[in-house]
């Protein structure tokens, strides 16, 4: 196979421009690299290091990088490690959602503007995965995902406790007066027993599983627990593989095809993936130049059964899921039932079908079959309305309690009406949820606005609002909720999320008032405000868009450019930036 000329040669070994070659070369020698290495014709492999003390979910990549580098060197590459913008879901305020696009921009500039021939994308915490894949799609140099892996399973007083999910459980227990403040802290801390990201099927595990389903990581990579020896081993193998990918010119555009994205939706539905996956996957597809309509989540994925018995939709956690067979077992089951596109190319250089020709001992308590699923028809549904364009609902987390109370009317199954209680953001919710003057009861729907990509900004995970304390004490653990924000992928609330367009840009969620009657019809995928067209028109005329205050320059820039959740909450630039390595030419010289 004829090797393609390396991008890095334009920096480090260009005889036609010795002055600039010398300028680029000399400073990379000052920490011990040699001219012979950099002019050897070996590919320069970037390691996009997402781990830091600010990003504890990904921090262990600082140790794993040595094994990554071992693999790169053994395969004949030269590793260069660089930091990415930190994204920590549980640390960043106002929301890590604000930083996904910032991290994407930063990584695009590094991959395009520096002498890098291929890149290993280290991913873990929620937004680190889509940010990295969006950048890889835009630049389109050989790239491979290395997931950091989940924490070990947590335990508290002999019971499994999963990260995130335990927070929502403890919040209810504390509201009911059943645990103290200190017990709350201890209970939640028990869910984080080791290095790694969330050990539930939250957004982190979901998006890393989706990266594997897309074909962007080696088979089995997604959910190997962070402390396991196999995590170090696959780090080594990933380092080796990216070097060959550079020589093969195996780029993201050859892997992340329309069929690959459809495979990702199918896997997401089968694993009970986070409700944050639709906007993230849409964003990756858009940067790949592909149209992935929000409706695809319903048309492709809704009929897929839930096959993974893991929190928040089930019982177990990620360590057990890995030992049960992990993502490859799910993909084998989908393939067996003719659901996957089997000829899609992956980073291994092989097809999905070829990768899955392996023996897996499946633990049927954790991973179910099509014949014996945890839930039938467990994918997402896309809701439409007379006061918004679209919203999504994750049906795999509809509890028996919720179904019995709201969806089991024998005369009108899956249809109910509720009285709106509207909150202007989470601060308003927290200050008023226990106000008895609101008359919140089991016939209420809690609605929140001002929480979208523009309004918050970044779109906050706040829609999974719990009932007032007095209802919790009566055994009513979940009320219907709706909002223009998101919610944690670790939440078991069957919320109606990602309402688009959001209220902050004039979306009609603004016209809904406390006391309005709302009709929810899951059969027809409708949510409607039960007032007259005349009243709707009058309210629109009198609606005022909220005045927003920016706290940082990036908040201002983001609000001016960001789109809506139904189209991926991407930065809506005036020009398209697709496959820029091949369509925009080499970046100009610096001197």
Per-domain residue ranges of the chain: 42-153+193-356, 154-192, 381-542
CA distance 271 to 330: 8
Q: How far is CA 151 from CA 163, 231, 274, 312, in A?
A: 9, 12, 17, 16
The length of the chain is: 591
Which segments of 314-434 does DSSP mark as H helices, in order? 318-324, 326-336, 352-355, 400-406, 426-432
Contact 367, 310 (CB under 8 A): no
Residue (of 232, 246, 273) closest to 115 by Cα position: 246
Write down the residue that tokens 């930065």 correspond to.
571
Rounded CA Rg of the chain: 24
* CATH architecture observed for domain 42-153+193-356: 3-Layer(aba) Sandwich (3.40)
Q: How far is CA 380 from CA 101, 144, 163, 346, 393, in A?
A: 24, 28, 23, 26, 6
Q: Is the dihedral of CA 291, 292, 294, 296 positive or negative?
A: positive
What does pTM read for this prediction?
0.97
Contact 219, 212 (CB under 8 A): yes
Q: Which residues of 70-85 are buried (b: 16+ CB within 10 A; e: fewer)?
A: bbbbebebbbbbeebb
Long-range contacts of 399-405 (CB under 8 A, 24+ apart): 399/477, 399/478, 399/492, 399/494, 401/477, 401/478, 402/478, 402/494, 405/442, 405/476
CA distance 16 to 13: 9
Residue 542 CB coordination number (10 Å): 7
CATH number for domain 381-542, candidates 3.50.30.80, 3.20.20.140, 3.40.50.300, 3.30.700.30: 3.50.30.80
3-state secondary structure at position 564:
coil
CA distance 298 to 392: 9
Q: Which residues of 479-495 are buried (b: 16+ CB within 10 A; e: fewer)?
A: bbbbbbbbbbbbbbbbb
What phi and psi, each to the nearest 5 degrees, are found at residue 411? -85, -15
Max distance between CA atoms of the chain, in angstroms, equals 81
Cis peptide leading into 151, omega within 30 of 0? no
Contact 508, 387 (CB under 8 A): yes
Both tokens of residue 287? Answer: 């940067």
Residue (of 340, 265, 257, 351) closest to 300 by Cα position: 265
Q: What is the pLDDT of residue 3?
A: 66
The H or E element containing residue 538 is helix 533-541
Q: Is the dihedral of CA 543, 521, 276, 430 positive or negative?
A: positive
408: CB partners within 8 A, 6+ apart: none
219: CB partners within 8 A, 6+ apart: 212, 328, 346, 348, 355, 356, 358
Contact 256, 538 (CB under 8 A): no
293: CB partners within 8 A, 6+ apart: none
CA distance 233 to 515: 58
| Burial class (CB within 10 angstroms; exposed 0-12, middle 13-18, buried 19+) of 537 | exposed
Q: What is the pLDDT of residue 4?
A: 75
- The DSSP 8-state label assigned to residue 510 in this structure reads G
Fold match flag (42-153+193-356 vs 381-542):
no
3-state secondary structure at position 446:
strand
Contact 465, 429 (CB under 8 A): yes
Contact 122, 200 (CB under 8 A): no
Contact 267, 213 (CB under 8 A): yes
Residue 369 CB coordination number (10 Å): 13
Instruction: Going residue by residue through the chain, which has 591 residues, state the pLDDT in tens, using 9 for 90 and above.
Output: 456 799 999 999 999 999 999 999 999 999 999 999 999 999 999 999 999 999 999 999 999 999 999 999 999 999 999 999 999 999 999 999 999 999 999 999 999 999 999 999 999 999 999 999 999 999 999 999 999 999 999 999 999 999 999 999 999 999 999 999 999 999 999 999 999 999 999 999 999 999 999 999 999 999 999 999 999 999 999 999 999 999 999 999 999 999 999 999 999 999 999 999 999 999 999 999 999 999 999 999 999 999 999 999 999 999 999 999 999 999 999 999 999 999 999 999 999 999 999 999 999 999 999 999 999 999 999 999 999 999 999 999 999 999 999 999 999 999 999 999 999 999 999 999 999 999 999 999 999 999 999 999 999 999 999 999 999 999 999 999 999 999 998 898 899 999 999 999 999 999 999 999 999 999 999 999 999 999 999 999 999 999 999 999 999 999 999 999 999 999 999 889 999 999 999 999 999
CA distance 137 to 283: 10
């Amino acid at each position: 196979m004829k090797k393609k000329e390396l991008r890095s040669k334009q920096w480090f070994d260009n005889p036609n421009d010795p002055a600039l070659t010398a300028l680029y070369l000399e400073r990379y020698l000052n920490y011990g690299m040699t001219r012979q290495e950099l002019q050897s014709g070996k590919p320069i492999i970037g390691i996009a290091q997402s781990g830091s003390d600010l990003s504890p979910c990904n921090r262990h990549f600082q140790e794993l990088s040595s094994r990554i580098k071992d693999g790169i060197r053994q395969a004949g590459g030269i590793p260069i490690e660089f930091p990415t913008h930190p994204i920590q879901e549980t640390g960043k305020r106002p929301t890590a959602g604000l930083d996904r696009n910032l991290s994407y921009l930063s990584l695009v500039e590094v991959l395009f503007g520096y002498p890098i021939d291929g890149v290993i994308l280290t991913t873990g915490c929620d937004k680190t995965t889509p940010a990295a894949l969006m950048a890889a799609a835009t630049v389109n140099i050989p790239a491979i995902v290395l997931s950091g892996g989940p924490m070990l399973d947590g335990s508290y007083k002999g019971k499994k406790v999963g990260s995130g999910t335990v927070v929502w459980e403890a919040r209810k227990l504390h509201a009911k007066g059943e645990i103290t403040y200190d017990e709350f802290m201890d209970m939640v801390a028990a869910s984080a027993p080791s290095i790694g990201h969330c050990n539930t099927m939250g957004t982190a595990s979901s998006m890393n599983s989706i990266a594997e389903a897309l074909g962007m990581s080696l088979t089995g990579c997604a959910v190997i627990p962070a402390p396991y020896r196999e995590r170090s081993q696959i780090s080594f193998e990933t380092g080796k593989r990216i070097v060959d990918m550079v020589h093969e010119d195996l780029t993201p555009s050859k892997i992340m095809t329309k069929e690959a994205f459809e495979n990702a939706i199918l896997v997401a539905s089968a694993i009970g993936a986070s409700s944050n996956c639709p906007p993230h996957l849409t964003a990756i597809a858009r940067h790949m130049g592909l149209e992935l309509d929000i409706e695809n989540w319903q048309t492709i994925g809704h009929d897929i059964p839930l096959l993974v018995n893991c929190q928040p939709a089930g019982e177990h956690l990620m360590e057990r899921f890995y030992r049960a067979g992990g993502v490859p077992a799910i993909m084998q089951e989908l393939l067996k039932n003719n659901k996957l596109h089997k000829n899609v190319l992956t980073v291994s250089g092989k097809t999905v079908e070829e990768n899955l020709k392996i023996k897996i001992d499946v633990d049927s308590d954790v991973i179910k079959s099509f014949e014996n699923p945890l839930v039938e028809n467990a994918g997402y549904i896309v809701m439409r309305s007379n006061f918004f364009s679209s919203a999504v609902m994750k049906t795999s987390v509809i509890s028996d309690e919720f179904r019995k109370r709201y969806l089991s009317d024998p005369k009108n199954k899956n249809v109910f009406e509720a009285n709106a209680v509207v909150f202007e953001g989470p601060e308003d919710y927290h200050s008023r949820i226990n106000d008895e003057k609101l008359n919140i009861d089991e016939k209420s729907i809690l609605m929140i606005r001002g929480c979208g990509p523009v309004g918050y900004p970044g779109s906050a995970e706040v829609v999974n609002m719990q009932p007032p304390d007095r209802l919790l004490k009566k055994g009513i653990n979940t009320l219907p909720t709706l909002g223009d924000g998101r919610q944690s992928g670790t939440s078991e609330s069957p919320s109606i999320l990602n309402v688009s367009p959001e209220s902050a840009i004039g979306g009609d969620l603004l016209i809904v008032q406390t006391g309005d009657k709302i009709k929810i019809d899951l059969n027809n995928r409708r949510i409607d405000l039960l007032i007259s067209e005349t009243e709707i028109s009058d309210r629109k005329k009198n609606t005022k868009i909220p005045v927003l205050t920016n706290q940082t320059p990036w908040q201002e820039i983001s609000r001016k450019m960001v789109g809506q959740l139904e189209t991926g909450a991407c930065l809506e630039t005036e020009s398209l930036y697709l496959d820029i390595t091949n369509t925009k030419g080499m970046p100009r010289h610096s001197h």
